[in-house]
Amino acid sequence: MFDKEFDVLKTKMLKYIMYKKRTEKEIRQKFSNMDETMVDDAIEYLKEAGYIDDSKYVERAVKEFMNIQTLSIKEIKYKLMSKGVDNNLIEDYISKHIYELEEYEAKCAQKIYYKKINTMEEIEVNMFLRKKGYKEESIKQIKE
């Protein structure tokens, strides 16, 4: 009986993952009403099969953010943390891709600055950028 239930659970998890890539935490939350041991086993099975991999999730998510959004590095970090990604995975990714991310952040700050400068004072735009987590270096680069 347990095997059939286990297969059904694995199938449900796979469908959930295939619809949209998910973190381990998201999967655990979705299936929190199920038998915890069975959920653990199913997640372990799907990890071994390569369907659940939070480090690959970080990579894909950051690339996606960079293609369609204007975010500071801090905002990227918070978005990933809200998905339940382990902080060490996030920090590792950021440290390995710091130059690329800093360049992206500077471009985003510039985009936001030129979009907002028509309706706000320069000091207000700079405050807005700081509140969004942009580094001082990124804000200073705008005027260079």
Q: Is the pLDDT of residue 46 over 90?
A: yes
Neighbours of 26 (CB within 10 A): 18
C-beta separation of 44 from 14 below 8 A: no
Whether the per-residue pLDDT at 105 is higher than 80: the answer is yes
Q: What is the mean pLDDT of the chain?
A: 93
Cβ neighbours around 129 below 10 Å, total: 23
pTM metric for this prediction: 0.87
pLDDT-derived band at 143, boundaries 50, 70, 90: confident
Region 86-106: mean pLDDT is 96
Rounded average pLDDT over 97-104: 96
The string of DSSP letters for 4-52 reads: HHHHHHHHHHHHHHHHS---HHHHHHHTTTS-HHHHHHHHHHHHHTTS-
Domain limits of the chain?
A: 2-52, 55-141
Q: How confident is the model at residue 6 (pLDDT cuts 50, 70, 90)?
A: confident
